């Protein structure tokens, strides 16, 4: 008879936070992927792994490349890269605060 033995249980959780950012003339929707896991020094630890941005004008989704080109044309070459990095940083900060609120004492890395 074959015997099965569970040797370990991973109690990690994958979280996805959806964030709407109203920029006035356009909107950004972000999906932030986070890995929540039991930690040694705190009850939980969290790693924000990836943040995806989607851009909307008049509630219609824009192609990433098209929005990037338009943004750079309006604000100067390379400005989209700075805008994107700043937006991701702000979204991840909001998500980190929410994670700490949901799981007090969590150490969030991003």
Q: Which domain holds residue 89?
A: 13-109
Q: Is residue 8 part of a domain?
A: no
Query: Cα 27 to the chain's mean position, in Å?
Result: 16
Structure tokens at 104: 């007090």
41 found inside a domain: yes
DSSP category for residue 109: E
CA distance 75 to 80: 8
> Which residues contact residue 68 at a Cβ distance below 8 angstroms, ignoring those fewer than 6 apart?
80, 84
Does 1 fall in a domain?
Answer: no
User: Is residue 66 assigned to a domain?
Assistant: yes
Residue 3, in any domain of the structure: no
Instruction: Report the pLDDT averaged over residues 56-71.
Output: 97
Pick the residue with more confidence: 45 or 40? 45
Count up the domains in the chain and report the number: 1
Asked if residue 7 belongs to a domain, the reply is: no
Task: Please state the rounded mean pLDDT for residues 26-51.
Answer: 93
**For the residues 20-28, what does the mean pLDDT come to?**
96
Would you say residue 86 has pLDDT above 90?
yes
Say if 4 falls within a structural domain. no
Residues 6+ apart with CB under 8 A from 109: 45, 46, 47, 48
Asked if the structure places residue 60 within a domain, the reply is: yes
């Amino acid at each position: 008879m074959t015997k099965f033995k569970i040797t370990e249980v991973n109690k990690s959780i994958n979280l996805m936070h959806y964030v709407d950012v109203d920029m006035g003339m356009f909107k950004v929707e972000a999906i932030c992927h986070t890995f929540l896991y039991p930690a040694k020094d705190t009850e939980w630890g969290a790693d924000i792994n990836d943040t995806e941005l989607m851009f909307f004008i008049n509630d219609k989704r824009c192609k990433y490349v098209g929005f990037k080109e338009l943004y750079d044309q309006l604000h100067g070459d390379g400005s989209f890269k700075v805008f994107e990095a700043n937006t991701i940083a702000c979204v991840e900060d909001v998500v980190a605060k929410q994670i700490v609120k949901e799981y007090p004492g969590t150490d969030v890395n991003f």
